[in-house]
Amino acid sequence: MGSIIAKMLLPTVSSLAFMPAISVAAKRGFHMEAMVYFFTMFFIAIYHACDGPGLSILCFMRYEILEYFSVYGTAISMWVTLIALGDFDEPKRSTLTMFGVLTAGVRIYQDRWGYGVYSGPIGTAVLMITVKWLRKMKDKKGLYPEKSVYTQQVGPGFCFGALALMLRFFFEEWDYTYVHSFYHVSLAMAFVLVLPKTNRLGGTGGNPAKLSCYTLCCCGTKPAIKDKIQTIWSTTTKRPWIRACDPGLPFRRPQPETK
**Tens-digit pLDDT profile for residues 123-155:** 999 999 999 999 999 998 989 999 999 999 999
pLDDT value for 7: 67
Average pLDDT over every residue of 157-185: 91
Q: Tell me: pLDDT of 167 over 90.
A: yes
Q: How far is CA 111 from the centre of its chain?
A: 23
pLDDT value for 199: 87
Higher-pLDDT residue of 74 and 242 is 74
Cβ-based neighbour number of residue 174 at 10 Å: 9
Give the lowest-confidence range in 63-77, 93-107, 233-247: 233-247
Give the lowest-confidence range in 32-36, 47-51, 53-57, 255-259: 255-259
Do the beta carbons of residue 230 and residue 224 sit within 8 Å?
Answer: no
**H helices of 59-201, where?**
63-86, 92-110, 116-140, 147-148, 155-170, 176-194
Please tell me the distance from the alpha carbon of residue 20 to that of residue 7, in angstroms, as a whole number.
Answer: 23
Please tell me the distance from the alpha carbon of residue 80 to that of residue 85, in angstroms, as a whole number.
Answer: 9
pLDDT value for 216: 43
Question: Which among 73, 104, 99, 98 has a CA at the least distance from the CA of 184?
Answer: 73
Do the beta carbons of residue 164 and residue 172 sit within 8 Å?
Answer: no
Average pLDDT over every residue of 73-98: 94
Cβ-based neighbour number of residue 4 at 10 Å: 9
pLDDT value for 219: 44
Report how far apart, in Å, the C-alpha atoms of 136 and of each of 112, 131, 144 are.
36, 9, 6
Q: Tell me: pLDDT of 227 over 70.
A: no
Please tell me the distance from the alpha carbon of residue 186 to that of residue 179, in angstroms, as a whole number.
Answer: 10
Average pLDDT over every residue of 209-235: 48
Average pLDDT over every residue of 18-26: 95
Q: Tell me: pLDDT of 95 over 60.
A: yes
pLDDT value for 163: 95
Question: Which among 23, 58, 27 has a CA at the least distance from the CA of 37?
Answer: 23
Cβ-based neighbour number of residue 39 at 10 Å: 18
Q: Tell me: pLDDT of 225 over 80.
A: no
pLDDT value for 90: 87
pLDDT value for 175: 84
Question: Which among 237, 47, 82 has a CA at the least distance from the CA of 158?
Answer: 82
Which residues neighbour 108 within 8 Å (Cβ) at sequence distance 6 or greater? 68, 71, 72, 75, 117
Higher-pLDDT residue of 79 and 90 is 79
pLDDT value for 201: 78
CA angle 103, 106, 104 (to 5 degrees): 40
Q: State the chain's mean pLDDT as an integer.
A: 80
**pLDDT band, residue 232 (cuts 50/70/90):** very low
Please tell me the distance from the alpha carbon of residue 90 to that of residue 64, in angstroms, as a whole number.
Answer: 36
Average pLDDT over every residue of 213-220: 46
